[in-house]
Amino acid sequence: MTKKLYDIDAYRSEFDATVISCISDISGNYSVVLDQTLFFPEEGGQTPDRGTLGTARVLDVQIDKTGIIKHFTDVPLEAGSTVHGIIDFHHRYSNMQNHTGEHIFSGFAHSRYGCTNVGFHLSDSIVTMDYDKQLTSDEITELETLTNEAIFKNIPVICEYPDAEKLETLDYRSKKELTGDVRIVTIPDVDVCACCAPHVRSTIEVGLLKVISSQNYKGGTRLSILCGERAYKNYSMIYEQIDRVNHLLSIKPEEVSDTVTRLLDERNSLLSQVKTLQEKILSQQVRTVDPDAENVVLFTEDAEPVVMRNTVNALTAAHPGYCGVFNGNDTDGYSFIIGSSKKDCREFLNSLRERVPIKGGGKPEMVQGSINIAALTIKNMF
């Protein structure tokens, strides 16, 4: 087994090790085994550490069933040589903040609502947790509040390998049955959980935890969270966006929701008025059509699809051929809806496609798509 230096001190960022082996793989990279390492491998749902071994960049870190940790590098390292390793501690510490934050939240979810954490993924940008029970928005808010209260209490985070006798007496969370040496992470009065990953020394280092999304997932709940620096950056981004809205609308931050609601109501009212006007304009065009015409084509601009469809339906009720409404202009092209009560519109669309570039499809009674040719050319094809 590779000696896990990250178990001894999660805050170290540099180390020296002996290269046990270095083997090239089919991707052109190299699999390096060391006698000891600070690099945490991809394990337990968490992404691996990043950094360098001498002049080599560490691209990935994996651990096999025997406990051997493989470092995948871009250049080879000489077997038997001593190499100096440096991990990206900023990346490591961000993972530590977020992983400890997840333990606190999951501990409360388990003790308060009997939730089992059945899925966990800590990427370089976000943390997702899957629970086997559905949580309401009020319950999620309560758990978030409890988690941040525990963070601010500066509770120690204890990582240890209890002996078999002590382990037998512990009531700890685990996704699977464990044997042999089991690493236990304890946050007193909050959580006891089996975990292989590095953690911060105290809850205060998590900074804060914010739930940023929740959804029903496989009969349970999937949550996404951010902790520490990631949460701060997310808050800064959101605040910047709200501040821009405040300046654009000349309102206070606490007025954003009500103002946006009012603006949406006004927008929907205006869209309804526009739709009514579009229908009136097209209705006037319909009244000017020769009642004996077999095929009919009308042109409009800025019409909603539902208005175009209603107009086509009105035309097909009065004319036996192909009836089309084209929306747009000669410069930007046209979207269209073509219908017929007697003929197969797909055949007509295919005949157009043989003559001009056209996109679209549909059913025998109605097709739709787009075309970029002049209106006069379109008229001549009907």
Q: What is the pLDDT of residues 5-35, one digit of tens each?
A: 999 999 999 999 999 999 998 888 999 999 9
**CB-count exposure of residue 12 (10 Å: 0-12, 13-18, 19+):** middle
Fold of the domain spanning 3-87: Elongation Factor Tu (Ef-tu); domain 3 (2.40.30)
Angle (CA) 104 171 139, round 5°: 40
Pick from 288, 142, 295: nearest CA to 214: 142
- Mean pLDDT over 290-316 rounds to 91
- pLDDT value of residue 288: 86
Q: Are strands 220-227 and 127-131 parallel, antiparallel or unpaired?
A: antiparallel
238: phi then psi, degrees, rounded to nearest 5:
-65, -45
| CA dist., res. 212 & res. 101, Å (int) | 14
Q: Half-sphere exposure of residue 199, counting CA atoms within 13 Å on the CB side?
A: 26
- pLDDT value of residue 40: 96
Beta bridge partners of 333: 329
Q: Is the pLDDT of residue 179 over 70?
A: no
| CA dist., res. 14 & res. 248, Å (int) | 49
CA-to-CA separations, 126 to 33, 88, 200, 233, 347, in angstroms, rounded: 29, 18, 18, 12, 51
Helix residue ranges, H only, 227-364: 228-249, 256-287, 305-318, 345-355
pLDDT band at 185 (very low <50, low <70, confident <90, very high): very high
Locate 182 and state its tokens: 């089991």
| CA dist., res. 345 & res. 351, Å (int) | 10
| CA dist., res. 97 & res. 99, Å (int) | 6
Residues in the chain: 382
- Mean pLDDT over 85-99 rounds to 97
Could you check whether 3-87 and 92-230 share the same CATH topology? no
Least confidently predicted of 41-45, 245-249, 330-334, 376-380? 245-249
| CA dist., res. 267 & res. 260, Å (int) | 10
Position 71, amino acid: H
Q: Is the pLDDT higher at 235 or at 181?
A: 235
Q: Half-sphere exposure of residue 249, counting CA atoms within 13 Å on the CB side?
A: 19
- pLDDT value of residue 175: 66
CATH (one of 3.10.129.10, 3.30.980.10, 3.40.50.10800, 3.40.50.300) for 92-230 = 3.30.980.10
According to DSSP, residue 315 is labeled H
Report the percent of the chain where pLDDT is more than 90.
70
CATH (one of 3.10.310.40, 3.40.30.10, 2.40.50.140, 3.30.499.10) for 288-380 = 3.10.310.40
Q: Is the pLDDT of residue 251 over 90?
A: no
Average pLDDT of the chain? 92
| CA dist., res. 237 & res. 251, Å (int) | 19
- pLDDT value of residue 302: 82
- pLDDT value of residue 349: 92
Locate 175 and state its tokens: 């996704």
| CA dist., res. 192 & res. 175, Å (int) | 13
Cβ atoms of residues 200 and 97 within 8 Å: yes
| CA dist., res. 298 & res. 164, Å (int) | 83
- Mean pLDDT over 222-245 rounds to 92
Annotated domain spans of the chain: 3-87, 92-230, 288-380
- pLDDT value of residue 126: 86
- pLDDT value of residue 176: 66
- pLDDT value of residue 195: 92
